[in-house]
Chains A and B, each alone.
Chain A
């Protein structure tokens, strides 16, 4: 918003306009300055420090030797232990995303095709678990799946015997799906709700079957939602720490937990820093691809 009329009524000259623009730019910068300063010091600087540490070496005393940069910490990605953890994390994050998609797509479709009054109430009931404390939601599953817990009691009563899926990868996936399902529902709902239903009507008028008009019209038009939702589920699942810690066992160490161990237990900061960088780069690449393709749907 650049004022085109000067306040005192004198004619607007290009010089005055330039000066006004400069003053405006200065004011904008000053408004941004507190946040910019804070984030530079407490976000950008930490980011640079992690990047530097990822090239450093751990010394014999558990400290870090900053001289003599090398790629050793990144080479550790090739070690079987780290590689297994990386593959397992990618695999579980992928499975979580697929399961979320399978349940969220029909759910969002149902939601988007309700009457507005019903739809708003249904949306509120999606928002409540979405905003509910994440730790508490994970803990609820710990109680539910526990030995002799409610689920076990239920399956025993039906005659299926005790269930013991706590501390297995299944429990981790269950917890991740529970935690991130709303991330899939909301963008899917947003993109399905926007569909011009006249297109679907037209296809039906031209004797397309329900399945054909779904495949040829609804699915392609809701693709932005599918992609956005998948990214929003996949990224946090890949870096998950709380869920695998609470619901997984020793054999299901994921990337997030492994990074934490490198810092708090193994005291190998360069290794932890390198893995954090890998996690962040994966995240950045996916986000950039997404924004390039379709930046406006979020």
Chain B
């Protein structure tokens, strides 16, 4: 970027104004929501003096608490399982060649690009069909409960975790692994002591993404949850459809804070990994492939 290519005059003013406008658009609704969650007025969106009543109501509401607990369980279990399966899948695709690899790669991409509604419909039909088969073969009567929600969330989270971990594996200096095996490290040892420590930021990033997506999902959970396994977003969605209330404001702000915390954590994880990359770069400066890996993994993660 030099001075001859810098926009000047009108275009510069336009670009700056547009940037502020976009940020205003991004943040004004969120900030207003937070402000109004402290409002004493029973009407949503009117200021009636500062109060914490709605947060107290949130803490007391059994339905909300129950749904919150379901969401937390679903998020944690589905994240743990998909982190293990997704990381193994990433390793298989990045470090091995096997038959059916292309098909597996495609299968792994599909849950990411498929629309929520389609995925929800698919899983609903699958579970009802599956339960019918179990019922007629084993005589067991199964129904939708928390496990169907967990399975569904694993089904889309595996793909997201594997994409993030793959980006990390791709950006990693493969010569380190080669050096390890040149020094007679077994494949397992090379993984345990060389590859694994290097991809931890990727795994952490994938896990945080999985947690966020699990807590974000309304559509799929709405289709596959049973009577006692309503997640918090599904419950809140139901409430909003009946009408807005200051209680929903408070619940929303709690969900907002949770997701902002998760963003901060994942940005922190990324920052740390980039610092490490930077150190590697300082040590061997001729390696310019590495320089781009930090920023490309950032954009890759953000897009997915």
- A residues near B (Cβ < 8 Å) are 1, 3, 7, 21, 24-29, 31-32, 34-36, 38-40, 42-47, 49-50, 53, 103-104, 106-107, 109-111, 113, 122-137, 139-144, 146, 148-150, 153, 178, 181-183, 185-187, 189-190, 197, 200-201, 204-205, 210, 213, 228, 232, 235-236, 238-239, 241-242, 245-246, 255-256, 259-260, 263-264, 269, 272-273, 276, 279-280, 283-284, 287, 298
Contacts and interface: CB of A to CB of B under 8 A. Distances in A.
A172 B155 CA distance: 29
Given A110-B18, A148-B46, A283 B115 contact: yes
Contact of B115 (A32, A125, A238, A273): A238
B11 interface: yes
B137 interface: no
A256 to B, nearest CB: 5
Given A106-B14, A144-B29, A149-B45, 9 more contacts: A29-B92, A31-B89, A39-B111, A131-B259, A131-B266, A133-B258, A136-B255, A136-B256, A256-B219
B44 A46 contact: no
B108 A110 contact: no
Interface in B160-193: 162, 174, 177-178, 181, 184, 187
A24 B181 CA distance: 14
Given A269-B125, A283-B115, A128 B155 contact: no
B19 A107 contact: yes
Nearest to B117: A256
Contacts of B216: 133-135
Given A46-B125, A239-B117, A39 B158 contact: yes
Contact of B29 (A49, A137, A273, A279): A137
Contact of A186 (B124, B152, B233, B302): B302
Contact of A140 (B30, B85, B92): B30
A131 B124 CA distance: 27
Interface in B45-66: 45-46
A103 B96 contact: no
Contacts of A133: 215-216, 233, 252, 255-256, 258-259
Contact of A283 (B92, B113, B263, B302): B113
Contact of A132 (B98, B110, B240, B256): B256
Interface stretch (B1-9, B138-146, B196-204, B281-289): B1-9
The 7 A-B residue pairs with the shortest CB-CB distance in the complex, in nearest-first order: A28-B96, A239-B115, A149-B45, A46-B126, A46-B122, A32-B92, A140-B29
Contacts of B262: 131
Give the most central of B2, B223, B240, B249: most A CB within 10 Å: B240
B301 to A, nearest CB: 9
A276 B29 contact: no
* B interface, size bucket: 35 or more
B97 A24 contact: yes
A16 B38 CA distance: 72
B22 A107 contact: yes
Contacts of B152: 42
B211 to A, nearest CB: 11
Contacts of B280: none
Interface string B215-252: 11011000100000000010011001100100011001
A139 B122 contact: no
B117 A276 contact: yes
A298 B187 CA distance: 31
B135 interface: no
Given A132-B260, A140-B30, A239-B115, A35 B99 contact: no
